[in-house]
Amino acid sequence: MWQGKTKAITFSFDDGVEQDIRLIEMFDRYGLKGTFNLNSGSFGMQITLTVKGVEVPHHRFAADKIRAIYQNHEVAAHTLTHPGLYDLSDEELIRETEEDRKNLEKLCGRDVVGMAYPFGDCDDRIARVLRAHTGVQYARTVRDNGAFHRQKDLLQFDPTVHATDFDRIEELWQAFCRLPKEQEAIFYIWGHSYEFDAVGWQPMEDFCREIAGRDDIFYGTNAQVLLGQ
């Protein structure tokens, strides 16, 4: 239960790029909360990505912007430099994670307890190392499960759905609304804000408006929803 409510909705967005500002304005307008997963070793990096055939900017914020931009939301780790994790030794994995987490704590002046795996790379070894040797208390994969249940292994937390799968999101929202009142359920949506530049922002805006302001739903950050923090 979250503040007496049995249903929770939470968002998770990766990389810390300029399009996060537009998304955060949207979240703030509708009273929604999100978690933003940042690579503190790559602040300020600017490249262009091709998403579904469309070129979009992937411009990361400079370090001194982070605290103010994300003040109403959660900041979580995404490793220092966004490497593929399967190839890293245990020591490298710990360093990439812990240095990022601690940098973000210092920069934002608050605890950082979450993580999203770069490229979604996660297996049992990676999760075991993080659990034993880092301050990470939950970590998200990219294995969309289309489900709302509480998950036992928070170091391999599977999201419900990807943020630009708009048709699927709408279907899942209808299913979420039909769940029995007393059943605990988490609707977890993840993605990258730059993807909306390629596929359009309007469906996301419509969805945020649709889910907002319900008495029976708790709108929280990942940490609030998964850890009760």
Residue 14 interacts with Zn ion (CB under 5 A): yes or no: yes
Angstrom distances, CA of residue 87 to CA of 92, 123, 124, 125? 9, 12, 14, 12
Q: Nearer Cβ to Zn ion, position 148 or 190?
A: 190
Q: Which of residues 156-185 bind Zn ion (CB under 5 A)?
A: none
Comparing CA positions, the residue from 84, 70, 64, 79 lying closest to residue 222 is 70
At residue 98, the 3 state secondary structure works out as helix
Q: Nearer Cβ to Zn ion, position 7 or 73?
A: 73
Q: Which of residues 22-41 bind Zn ion (CB under 5 A)?
A: none
CB atoms within 10 A of CB 134: 22
Give the containing element (helix H, strand E) for 74.
strand 74-77
Residue 98 interacts with Zn ion (CB under 5 A): yes or no: no
Q: Nearer Cβ to Zn ion, position 8 or 17?
A: 17
Name the pairing type of β-strands 54-59 and 46-51: antiparallel
Q: Nearer Cβ to Zn ion, position 99 or 170?
A: 99
Q: Nearer Cβ to Zn ion, position 77 or 208?
A: 77
CA dist., res. 150 & res. 190, Å (int)? 17
Binds Zn ion by CB under 5 A, chosen from 11, 15, 16, 79: 15
Mask 116-145, x = binds Zn ion (CB under 5 A)? Answer: --x---------------------------
Q: How far is the CB of 15 from Zn ion (least distance, A)?
A: 5
Name the pairing type of β-strands 185-191 and 161-162: parallel
* Residue ranges that bind Zn ion, judged by CB under 5 A: 14-15, 118
